[in-house]
Chain A
């Protein structure tokens, strides 16, 4: 494995570097926790890494709350997510996804942008963001940005809509309701060990109810179950309007079946397709257990 590395220090420099390298073989890197492993496995000839880690731009590195939601820069690390109180309070699913990522050491450098752009079906932070129906803000060489929903971002295993000259700039989570009460939001990660683990199956959910426990919004995403992380729309709409605390056994099964309809898992070294489906079905129904633990 060998490559050149370029360290732009401003966004302007970054854009001009991207322009300059248009016809060459380059990759973006930030935490590089995925990239280095990939390059070790499949070395690329004449490769340049455009390193985002030195770019001084609060749009890339900051977490900012406004009246309609929360913007997270693409270079925010998993550790930054874990320690952010606003995320912990309002978007527990994202907090938990980041907390369960790899190990303490990796979380210090692994970035939100990296977790999304690597396009892995088992990306944990990405899965939580799909459940939260986040938007992706993409920066082009002209300095202009375009915004697309994260559900449209992934096009296949390790494939995304990003063009060669585009950088993921940040993501935006829309607050569904102003208050942060009545939130049932968790990340369920299934693997064989408790850390340094890549999800065998994951389920991210962010459910909000009114005071009477009627579900007013449900975002449910599955990871490591299909070529891309998927938002299980029919399962989400199935829940909306129902009382979260009074879901019948038959409805729980129907809900789980709906989630399963989005799954087309593969068998690999970590688990068989059979196992992934079986577990997904079981954990989908577990959402309705221990709800009182979230009552504060």
Chain B
């Protein structure tokens, strides 16, 4: 029998909401240490050049404490492929390239110091297009890779296939091929990148205040970069003002700050300006996706053949592994009998790409869901019907080996079709200035972590103090997604302790147990299960003591109201009293328990097959838009979202994820793009980088679908990335529906839309 939940499922405000909205939260920018210096980085003026550097004048400036260039440091290359020198020597390959750094007494002096550094550049032409980089004649852009691929500018490739492609092509009644182009967008974290480093020369240890979302991998990466022992590095995470995947990698500014502290023996802080944030923080991978897809005359999907070229930029981040997620969408979203997938990350002299919420999935879903509309058009089949026909089902094992123990795909689709009052073959009002349209899109994403590192686990240490307060020491990190709140709710639910009496410790690598980090929508699932494991162990200890104190052999207890109650006798004893008895009477033990949770997921084999996640999340969106045919402006009217969340843990936080995701997806669909020309970013500011504002928020109607996956805590699945993933695809489909045009490129700026409207009217004349 399912027990009644008292805390889980309730709209509990975020644990840290109060300090955040009152300005009391301590971000990295607020940290001030005694004797702290201010660091600043000189970046190249040109994306591709050879250079010489002279810092002699800079060193003379009063207030400048230290200046470093590549010649002054002994470091290892960083990044996922170890193809990225922290400070560049002799040549630069993208606009972010760090060529010198200073530590000074004030921020102003640090900035002034940068201006005194003399750099002589021999500018090269550079390569800014992926296909150009793949040409035989192109020079090698990154000199630090082993060269395992025949083409010198390929950083990484992926190949996957299932089913008999040729056979399925023969069985197809319609085959379409399109090229989809996806832009370079960035996270726009409201807190700019920041780091404060404090090297202790006496014991040779390094303390970093960093907003990383993967502290343990980061600790190891910093250690590798600086040739240190990881355990001599302590990472403390201050309050983080936005992650969205941007803090999955370590970037040069972080070891640079540490180096400045090591050289000076004083704490050093580096904080990005907004312009620097736009130029020097990562982006989503720009991609060109060639997709060929088939369908039989009944509407069953037969095959998909995919070829992707991703602009890696000059160095390789974790983001290069996005095909790992992209191929899941192509192989396993909707039933498809055969799939062949190839992707290559290609070096260019553009700024390098990184990880971003959805991890390649928004790009894949855009191409796939646009293609489904095109196939439906060709078959003259209804766009809702074709999706329902091919939707994934419970118990399905996909061609790639993903096992859908639970699956809400069909229910999600049915929900948004019904709620949006979609009518088949409805014609649009013609002749009027404003045209309305509706578009559908679904998504599949890992919902129970993703086994890509040696462990996808998370550790928890749980203690109850003699006053009945509970401390959760969790390996997981809070980056704004609400993990602290969810963990406190779980502890409150299980231990019957008031939420106010629950504390979370999660910011210090010297204290917290190991966790792989915040990514893959995994935290509630993995950290939640880990906490439940620790609770189970702790309860065994508490039960034993309770039975002893209540003089019963019974062990059937309820935890409620800060008490343990015997279900048989109804006798109860306060939790704090039990803990005091445990501590202070023989055999004197602590009310403490530790647990390490490892999801049931498996590594995929060399062919990328296997059940990579503990569970899978599904979502569908139906989006209505209105297009102004005079201006090409697209107004998003209503967004209907149904998402298989497994189980709603906290409706308030879930709503926040949905709203934020949809807004981010809208920006991706309509307005956002880092505009580059020859490797330079032309709009490094919010004035011209058009992130949607509060006044652009459409009416969002959210319908959670609860499939109660037994793998998840209370049945929950990961929810963080999902809301963003299908949004751009659904908006693009809606715009095409409204205007009868074909869209294969994002963002759908007013200018592109107006051009398409005019081209269409010319063709019709």
Contacts and interface: CB of A to CB of B under 8 A. Distances in A.
A234 interface: no
Contacts of A200: 750
Interface stretch (A76-84, A206-214, A272-280): A272-280
A203 to B, nearest CB: 11
Interface string B716-760: 000000000000000000000000000000000111001000100
A271 interface: yes
Interface stretch (A3-11, A150-158, A281-289): A281-289
Interface string B508-538: 0000000000000000000000000000000
Given A193-B671, A278-B758, A289 B433 contact: yes
B633 interface: yes
B296 to A, nearest CB: 41
Given A270-B688, A275-B754, A194 B682 contact: no
Nearest to A285: B630
Contacts of A275: 632, 750-751, 754
A259 to B, nearest CB: 14
Contacts of A271: 750-751
A195 B683 contact: no
Q: Which of B631, B693, B749, B758 has the most CB of A within 10 A?
A: B631
A282 B631 contact: yes
Contacts of A286: 433, 630
B631 A279 contact: yes
Contact of A192 (B630, B671, B682, B695): B671
B21 interface: no
Given A193-B671, A278-B754, A283 B695 contact: no
Nearest to B629: A282
B696 to A, nearest CB: 5
Contact of A269 (B631, B683, B695): B683
A190 interface: yes
A198 B687 contact: yes
Given A275-B754, A282-B630, A286-B433, A193 B692 contact: yes
Given A269-B675, A283-B631, A194 B751 contact: no
A146 to B, nearest CB: 35
B686 interface: yes
A196 B631 contact: no
Given A269-B683, A275-B754, A190 B633 contact: yes
Contacts of A22: none
Interface in B678-702: 682-683, 686-688, 690, 692-696
A238 B317 CA distance: 61
A129 B690 CA distance: 28
A155 B692 CA distance: 34
Interface in B204-246: none
Q: Which of A192, A193, A275, A282 has the most CB of B within 10 A?
A: A192
Contacts of A25: none
A35 to B, nearest CB: 15
Contact of A193 (B675, B682, B683, B696): B696
B34 to A, nearest CB: 26
Nearest to B673: A269
Q: How large is the interface on B (under 10, 10 to 19, 20 to 34, 35 or more residues)?
A: 20 to 34
A279 B688 contact: no
A273 B633 CA distance: 17
Contacts of B683: 269
B228 to A, nearest CB: 38
A147 interface: no
Contacts of B696: 193-195
A192 B690 contact: yes
A221 to B, nearest CB: 18
B762 to A, nearest CB: 13
Contacts of B630: 279, 282-283, 286
A145 interface: no
Contacts of B633: 190, 192
Q: Which of B630, B675, B687, B754 has the most CB of A within 10 A?
A: B630
Contacts of A193: 671, 690, 692-693, 695-696
A103 interface: yes
Contacts of B433: 286, 289
Contact of B754 (A196, A269, A279): A279
Q: Which of A195, A279, A286 has the most CB of B within 10 A?
A: A279
A194 B628 CA distance: 14
Nearest to A269: B688
A272 B694 CA distance: 26
Contacts of A269: 675, 682-683, 688
Contacts of B688: 269-270
Contacts of A190: 631, 633, 750
Nearest to B749: A192
A278 B633 CA distance: 13
Contacts of A279: 630-632, 750, 754
A193 B663 CA distance: 12
Interface string A192-231: 1111101010000000000000000000000000000000
Contacts of B692: 193
Contacts of B632: 275, 279
Contacts of B682: 269
A195 B632 CA distance: 17
Interface string B455-494: 0000000000000000000000000000000000000000
A120 to B, nearest CB: 12
A282 B758 CA distance: 12
A33 B405 CA distance: 56
A90 to B, nearest CB: 27
A214 B714 CA distance: 71
Contacts of A289: 433
Contact of A194 (B675, B695, B750): B695
27 contacts: A103-B693, A190-B631, A190-B633, A190-B750, A192-B690, A192-B749, A192-B750, A193-B692, A193-B695, A194-B696, A195-B694, A195-B696, A196-B686, A196-B693, A198-B687, A269-B675, A269-B683, A269-B688, A271-B750, A272-B751, A275-B750, A275-B754, A278-B758, A279-B630, A279-B750, A282-B630, A286-B630
Given A193-B693, A279-B754, 17 more contacts: A190-B633, A190-B750, A192-B633, A192-B670, A192-B690, A193-B671, A193-B690, A193-B692, A193-B696, A195-B693, A195-B696, A269-B683, A275-B632, A275-B751, A279-B630, A279-B750, A282-B630
The 5 A-B pairs with the shortest beta carbon distances in the complex, nearest first, are: A282-B630, A194-B695, A195-B695, A275-B751, A195-B693
